[in-house]
Amino acid sequence: MNMTTLLALAVMAVQEPAEFKIELPKMVKPGAVVKAKAHVTFVDGWHGYQNPPSDPYQNPVTLKLDTKGYKLTKVTYPKGVMKDFGGTPTAVYEGTVTILFEFVAPKKVGSHPLAFTVDYQQCNDSTCLPPADTKAKATLVVKK
């Protein structure tokens, strides 16, 4: 392996994944539209690509609801900040980004465990890590 490959592997080995948290309402009515938030935090000096991305080759931050029987009905990604990388203006997310999303609550009363995934690719000013994902769980409480 050459020095560049070894350096890239060392950076990947020490780079922390993005932090991912879900914020749900404390309680919802059966069949209600649930309005919630996903918070994705990138480590200082690293960023993820805005959704939709500036260029089609970029891997944007993408939120998924993995629990069977549930489907995201609306996802609102914020605008990123514009950065210049090699003369190319690129929209990125830095620090903590909040994604607003909606889905329909089940009609069955009770606690419903949900699983979410956020796909992203972290980059800094000179390199990008391979695309990755981070998972989060949350519990939706449905009461009449």
pLDDT tens digit string along 14-40? Answer: 568 899 999 999 999 999 999 999 999
- How many structural domains comprise the chain? 1
Proportion of the chain above pLDDT 70, given as a percent: 90
CA-closest candidate to residue 53, choices 21, 80, 18: 80
| Torsion sign, CA atoms 134, 132, 97, 142 | negative
Average pLDDT, the chain: 91
Confidence tier at 4 by pLDDT (50, 70, 90): low
Residue of higher predicted confidence among 133 and 3: 133
Q: What is the pLDDT of residues 49-106, one digit of tens each?
A: 999 999 999 999 999 999 999 999 999 999 999 998 878 899 999 999 999 999 999 9
Q: Report the pLDDT value the prediction gives residue 26, as an integer from 0 to 100.
A: 96
How far apart are alpha carbons 122 and 42 in whole angstroms? 8
Q: Where are the alpha helices (DSSP H) in 3-140?
A: 3-14
CATH number (domain holding residue 29): 2.60.40.1250
What are the residues whose beta carbons fall under 8 Å from the beta carbon of 23, sequence distance 6 or more? 36, 37, 38, 39, 138
* 80: containing domain: 3-142
Angle made by CA atoms 46, 11, 125, in degrees to the nearest 5: 35
